[in-house]
Structure 1
């Protein structure tokens, strides 16, 4: 089923079409909310809220953006609303990063690729919220700058700046954990 037909059927109240929409975009919603909300239980509640909002507001969808961008925007904003309402002040970023001992750099192989990917994901989780969100949307969900601007409401320049800063923070944390060869292989862009 193509996107416009799916939207039309959901707008007409077809519950099977809505179930299909949920199945099609569930991974996207979980990925975005999971990067913002750390608690599994809370993240699941927010994901459910996202799809309730999608269902209630699908009639307002005008097709100016892709459906995935519109849903991602709802997921991002619902997650931020949840944090504003329920979350205590975030810990200072520098206190939360997991240190890598300089001795680890002596290992000529650095981290194994599998370990490296896990380590990078752990470090992404520890980034400040806006950096984490932009990295997730750009690198993991593969949205472009314009789409991220639509999802987050941040100007494109801010998106680029946050992405640059997040990459720099990640590279700084990785410089003792990986060899230059691993970085050159594209483990982090």
Structure 2
């Protein structure tokens, strides 16, 4: 099989090839998932110097555990779960996970922020970019778990079911964290607006 044909393979076929010793197939898995892994690591771990080591650890764990992959979820979801757990373990070891991250369930849904995606013009595009930068800055103030959930749901556009699989959290807890994160972001942005920083 030509390396260019690897892109046509399903998760099952890729795993079979990797287990058979095909390193190109694993490189393809890394390429398919590196953005998702970087997103999770970047949201959970604020020290950028640690990101490459954590990504390497994540892919090493995935490679070593591939024989146990049961195809109950997509391969990318499984690797995202390894990413989340690896980052959570890192935070736990560094004692950076706050007790406030583990809250009771609440099933309300609220939109994150109004979007300016439909507006045209270069000025409006620049204003939208500024808002995105400001939102990203405000997201850094969220606890790591909430920051990651916002990223998975709103930026990676994963479903609640996929997020629950990745984080091993009940759906109600995921919804609660997202609600609280949105509320914190909204409060912070409103404060900045009233202060004149927006």
- In which range does the TM-score fall when normalised by the shorter chain? 0.7 to 0.9
TM-score (norm: length of structure 2): 0.75
Which residue in the other structure is 2:130 paired with? 115
How many angstroms apart in 2 are the aligned matches of 1:82 and 1:150? 19
Task: Return the offset for 1:54.
Answer: 0.6
Which residue in the other structure is 1:156 paired with? 171
Identify unmatched segments of 5+ residues in structure 2: 1-7, 101-123
Match of 2:154 among 120, 130, 139: 139
TM-score (norm: length of structure 1): 0.79
**Which runs of structure 1 show a deviation greater than 6 angstroms over 4 or more consecutive aligned residues?**
none
Counterparts of 1:11-30 in structure 2, within 5 Å, are 11-30=19-38
Q: How many pairs align? A: 162
Task: Return the offset for 1:135.
Answer: 0.4
Which residue in the other structure is 2:79 paired with? 71
Task: Return the offset for 1:72.
Answer: 0.3
Task: Return the offset for 1:88.
Answer: 5.1
Match of 1:44 among 52, 71, 81: 52
How many angstroms apart in 1 are the aligned matches of 2:191 and 2:43? 25
Q: Secondary structure at the match of 2:73?
A: coil
Which residue in the other structure is 1:173 paired with? 188
Identify unmatched segments of 5+ residues in structure 1: 93-108, 180-189
